[in-house]
Amino acid sequence: MRDVQRPVIRQLDEAAINRIAAGEVVERPASAVKELVENSIDAGATRIEVTIADGGKTLIRVVDDGCGIAADDLPLALSRHATSKIDGTDLLNIHSFGFRGEALPSLGAVGRLTITSRSGAGAATVQVTGGRMGPVTPAALTKGTQVDLADLFFATPARLKFLRTDRAETQAVVDVVRRLAMAEPFVTFVLRDATGGDSRTLFRADGETGDLFDALRGRLRMVLGRDFNDNALPLDAEREGFHLTGAAALPTYSKGAAVAQYLNVNGRPVRDRMLLGALRAAYMDVMSRDRHPVACLFVDCDPTLVDVNVHPAKSEVRFRDPAVVRGLIVSGIRHALAGAGHRSATTVGH
């Protein structure tokens, strides 16, 4: 054996454990916004207002009108692996965005987190800074929950150094909110930038009404613009328990980068390689290699046919039968394109 000091095995304390977990869950301000907005959606909110400052580095505030958290539950909501969304018996039957009970403790470990919430009679507030929780005290709030996350990563300076410019981080936040807005058409989303004290709106989408189909159409038009709407083909295809809806743009309406490809699995925005590959394959014969299709796809299936518990950020999924999903996307889009007159050699036979 080399001459090394005898190692000492220590049990890490909760704050250290949370900081380590935060590395996976919270990569940048946009991931914190994603976790907080998903919590608001899970709480049944109809209106979610997000305010950021300095790219989200100094402030992220999320205010919702959801069900709130009872004062007695606040400490629990902030502890690791505590969740109201699953009971742990069936990890293959998940209907909420959250279920790991990791976001709030992680955010509290790497920033200054204040949660104020009202559930039933009274409102209460609690602060966590660098993993240390203060007392729960009464507060004034008429409904829902307000989460303030200040100085993200102040407790992990190495991570802070990896952040990009305020502009780039702001753009990533806008992208996250847009993606969630497309997945939740009935909810009103407002995103503001309050850098330097004055507030300007970065994104806004008012809650759609009507049935889900109309609401989704309205929301896509709102978020992706009229141009997309005028160039998009509605999708509706089914294969072996998987359902594909959404809209895919004509090959003539493409982009120079893969920036407008929105994928959702059971209502959850994802960035899944297999799905992105399928989207690309669908356009292979009708688009040059340096162009990228524009599409918003919704793949829905029984929750037991897909595992969303692949990565802490839940941006990847594993389908039980990926080949079926790939085939559904490729043929569903090609069929829509063929109907619009963009027939390619390989369309025949699908």
Instruction: Read off φ and ψ for residue 323, nearest 5 degrees.
Output: -65, -35
- As measured in angstroms, the least distance from the Cβ of 33 to ligand ADP is 13
First to last CA, the chain: 63
Task: Name the residue type at position 100.
Answer: R
d(CA 50, CA 61): 6
- By CB under 5 A, the residues from 48 to 107 that bind Mg ion are 98, 103
- As measured in angstroms, the least distance from the Cβ of 102 to Mg ion is 7
Binder among 22, 43, 250, 287 for ligand ADP (CB under 6 A): 43
d(CA 104, CA 78): 5
- As measured in angstroms, the least distance from the Cβ of 143 to ligand ADP is 11
d(CA 221, CA 204): 13
Q: Which does 187 bind (CB under 5 to 8 A by kind): Mg ion, ligand ADP, none?
A: none
Q: Which does 77 bind (CB under 5 to 8 A by kind): Mg ion, ligand ADP, none?
A: ligand ADP
* Burial degree of 80 (CB within 10 A; 0-12, 13-18, 19+): middle
Q: Pick from 82, 83, 79, 77: which is nearest to 95 by CA?
A: 83
Decide: helix, strand or coil at residue 159: helix
Residue 169, both tokens = 């981080």
98 binds ligand ADP (CB under 6 A): yes
Q: Which does 319 bind (CB under 5 to 8 A by kind): Mg ion, ligand ADP, none?
A: none
Beta carbons within 10 angstroms of residue 131's beta carbon: 21
Residue 189, both tokens = 């989303």
Mark the segment that binds ligand ADP (CB under 6 A) among 87-95, 98-106, 161-169, 201-209.
98-106
Q: Pick from 296, 144, 320: which is nearest to 233 by CA?
A: 296
- As measured in angstroms, the least distance from the Cβ of 96 to Mg ion is 8
Question: x-or-dash pattern for ligand ADP, window 183-202, by CB under 6 A?
Answer: --------------------
Q: Which is nearer to ligand ADP, 64 or 184 (CB)?
A: 64
Q: Pick from 234, 219, 243, 231: which is nearest to 328 by CA?
A: 243
102 binds ligand ADP (CB under 6 A): yes
103 binds ligand ADP (CB under 6 A): yes
Binder among 21, 53, 63, 67 for ligand ADP (CB under 6 A): 67
Q: Which does 172 bind (CB under 5 to 8 A by kind): ligand ADP, Mg ion, none?
A: none
- As measured in angstroms, the least distance from the Cβ of 186 to ligand ADP is 17
d(CA 132, CA 109): 8
Q: Which is nearer to ligand ADP, 104 or 220 (CB)?
A: 104
- As measured in angstroms, the least distance from the Cβ of 87 to ligand ADP is 12
- As measured in angstroms, the least distance from the Cβ of 209 to ligand ADP is 23
Helical H segments across 191-285, by residue range: 212-231, 273-283
Sequence-separated (6 or more) residues with CB below 8 Å from residue 15: 109, 130, 131, 132
Binder among 29, 33, 34, 40 for ligand ADP (CB under 6 A): 40
Decide: helix, strand or coil at residue 257: coil
Task: Name the residue type at position 27.
Answer: E
Beta carbons within 10 angstroms of residue 9's beta carbon: 4
Q: Pick from 152, 190, 157: which is nearest to 60 by CA?
A: 152
Binder among 101, 246, 312, 327 for ligand ADP (CB under 6 A): 101
100 binds ligand ADP (CB under 6 A): yes
39 binds Mg ion (CB under 5 A): yes
- As measured in angstroms, the least distance from the Cβ of 86 to ligand ADP is 8
Q: Which is nearer to ligand ADP, 97 or 228 (CB)?
A: 97
The residues that touch ligand ADP, with contacts defined as CB under 6 A, are 35, 39-40, 43, 64, 66-69, 77, 83-85, 98-104, 145
Q: List residues binding Mg ion (CB under 5 A).
A: 39, 98, 103
